[in-house]
């Protein structure tokens, strides 16, 4: 399967899997607690200390100078054990992308080293109660007054918002939309909701963020294409990484289901001897392999074929998410009642897999993108 990964990428992949096996897997169940876990923040810092938050940041700015495919390999490994952390990392890299592509030299040198070291996390503050799939409906006001901008509005479902965070805030100044970088300097005018519980991705820290005339420097606005196009570029990165997270869920779910099928005996033989069970595993393995090809292709096209990135990111996200949700459900079926037990990891994988179809643009919205790419 790794045929088109370079030797260097295979080495990175091994290093990532080893880190996740040693550091994340032992606390995977703890991280999945609905109320959150005390070790979450510590693990997020370890990601920074090990360079895993600077994979795509240029070397001269303190990063690894790697590609989006390198980052996808990391998120794939992470997603298998802690999908919520994989979501936080994906969102972080989408902000790295925004600054790397659209930031001024000052913004790059101010923020990218901090992001690469994990001294602050990048997070999208795009969604609002009335603006989910349709971000053109945002109501957050950006009041620009000379060298200062004040941001007022409520952003929903913001990941990592209680950590030292750099928010990419989608707002509007009159009719004109923009993306502003809001760092922690003016915390007093940023109010967080209680941490939000979700059916899956519980190792993410999710909050609604109430911006009460939160101050940023007016030159913290990202320049470039129009604001919705900027948000879309950020989402192309985070959705490719979320597709990689879905691959991790698939890999773990498939391996657990195959193991169980070989060892669980009913009617005098392992259940794996039944063709009905074998076919579920065969379909899972085929679709997961196809999802991996699409995801790596999407990640590669970020640099290798930029004109195709948006299309492949949409294909990868919707296909990998569907594969994870559909086949992790079949894996639960193979496990029988044990698959529904909260003491078994498969139940977590199934809950996580469902959510991959929703954030960073729902699966339906990916199809809207794909029909646009077809000129329909
Ligand atoms: C775990 C999690 C983490 C998140 N993290 C962040 C974050 O860090 N930052 C952030 O800004 N947001 C975040 N979000 C929000 C996420 O991006 C939105 O939930 C997502 O974009 C969908 O918006 P919505 O939930 O409002 O659904 P809606 O937009 O209300 O959609 C509801 C349903 O209608 C369908 N639909 C809508 N329009 C169409 C259409 N044109 N054609 C076909 N079907 C359509 C959708 O596919 C969906 O099934 C997160 C969400 C979750 C669940």
Domain presence at residue 202:
yes
Q: Please tell me whether residues 242 and 356 are part of one structural domain.
A: yes
Among 127, 161, 357, residue to substitute to test ligand 1 (most atoms within 8 Å of Cβ): 127
Of all protein residues, the one whose alpha carbon is nearest to atom 38 of ligand 1 is 133
Overall residue count recorded for the chain in this entry: 376
The Cα-based distances of 126 to 21, 106, 149, 161 in angstroms read 33, 23, 17, 13
**Coil, strand or helix at 289:** helix
Last residue of a domain, one of 220, 238, 255: 220
The Cα-based distances of 247 to 80, 156, 240, 251 in angstroms read 8, 26, 11, 6
Measured in Å, residue 154 CA sits from the centre of ligand 1 at 16
Give the domain range for residue 190: 123-220
3-state secondary structure 195-213: CCCCCCCCCCCEEEEEEEE
Measured in Å, residue 4 CA sits from the centre of ligand 1 at 33
Q: What is the pTM of this model?
A: 0.97
Domain presence at residue 71:
yes
Q: Please tell me whether residues 110 and 175 are part of one structural domain.
A: no
The CATH number assigned to the domain holding 85 equals: 1.10.540.10
Q: Please tell me whether residues 162 and 294 are part of one structural domain.
A: no
Per-residue pLDDT of the chain (376 residues; tens, 9 = 90+): 445 899 999 999 999 999 999 999 999 999 999 888 888 889 999 999 999 999 999 999 999 999 999 999 999 999 999 999 999 999 999 999 999 999 999 999 999 999 999 999 999 999 999 999 999 999 999 999 999 999 999 999 999 999 999 999 999 999 999 999 999 877 899 999 999 999 999 999 999 999 999 999 999 999 976 999 999 999 999 999 999 999 999 999 999 999 999 999 999 999 999 999 999 999 999 999 999 999 999 999 999 999 999 999 999 999 999 999 999 999 999 999 999 999 999 999 999 999 999 999 999 999 999 999 999 9
Domain presence at residue 292:
yes
Alpha-carbon span 196 to 66, nearest angstrom:
33
Please tell me the number of Cα atoms within 13 Å of 234 on its side-chain side: 32
Alpha-carbon span 17 to 286, nearest angstrom:
22
Alpha-carbon span 149 to 355, nearest angstrom:
34
Measured in Å, residue 360 CA sits from the centre of ligand 1 at 7
**CB atoms near residue 247 (< 10 Å):** 28
Of all protein residues, the one whose alpha carbon is nearest to atom 40 of ligand 1 is 365
**Coil, strand or helix at 167:** strand
CA 355 to chain CA centroid, Å, is: 11
Of all protein residues, the one whose alpha carbon is nearest to atom 19 of ligand 1 is 359
Virtual torsion, Cα 268, 271, 277, 281, nearest 10 deg = -150
């Amino acid at each position: 399967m790794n045929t088109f990964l370079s030797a260097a990428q295979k080495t990175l992949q091994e290093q990532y899997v080893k880190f996740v096996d040693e550091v994340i897997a032992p606390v995977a169940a703890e991280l999945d607690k609905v109320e959150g876990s005390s070790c979450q923040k510590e693990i997020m810092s370890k990601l920074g200390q090990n360079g895993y938050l600077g994979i795509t940041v240029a070397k001269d700015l303190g990063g690894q100078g790697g590609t989006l495919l390198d980052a996808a390999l990391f998120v794939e490994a992470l997603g298998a054990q802690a999908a919520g952390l994989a979501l936080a990392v994906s969102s972080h890299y989408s902000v790295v992308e925004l600054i790397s592509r659209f930031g001024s030299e000052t913004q790059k040198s101010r923020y990218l080293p901090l992001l690469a070291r994990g001294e602050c996390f990048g997070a999208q503050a795009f969604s609002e109660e009335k603006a989910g799939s349709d971000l053109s409906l945002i109501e957050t006001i950006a009041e620009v007054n000379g060298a200062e901008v004040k941001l007022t509005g409520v952003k929903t479902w913001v990941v990592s918002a209680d950590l030292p965070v750099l928010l990419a805030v989608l707002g509007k100044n009159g009719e004109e939309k923009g993306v502003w970088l809001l760092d922690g300097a003016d915390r007093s005018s940023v109010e967080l909701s209680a941490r939000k519980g979700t059916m899956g991705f519980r190792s993410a820290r999710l909050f609604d963020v109430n911006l009460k005339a939160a101050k940023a420097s007016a030159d913290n606005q990202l320049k470039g294409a129009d604001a919705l196009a900027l948000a879309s570029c950020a989402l192309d990165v985070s959705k490719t990484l979320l597709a990689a997270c879905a691959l991790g869920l698939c890999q773990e779910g498939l391996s657990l289901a195959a193991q169980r099928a070989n060892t669980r005996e009913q009617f005098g033989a392992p259940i794996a001897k039944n063709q009905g069970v074998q076919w579920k595993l065969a379909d899972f393995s085929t679709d997961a392999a196809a999802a991996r090809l699409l995801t790596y292709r999407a990640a590669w096209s970020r640099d290798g074929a930029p004109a195709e990135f948006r299309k492949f990111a949409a294909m990868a996200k919707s296909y990998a998410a569907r594969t994870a949700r559909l086949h992790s459900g079949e894996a639960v079926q193979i496990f029988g009642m044990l698959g529904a037990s909260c003491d078994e990891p498969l139940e977590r994988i199934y809950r996580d897999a469902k959510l991959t179809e929703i954030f960073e643009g729902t699966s339906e919205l990916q199809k809207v993108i794909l029909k646009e790419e077809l000129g329909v």
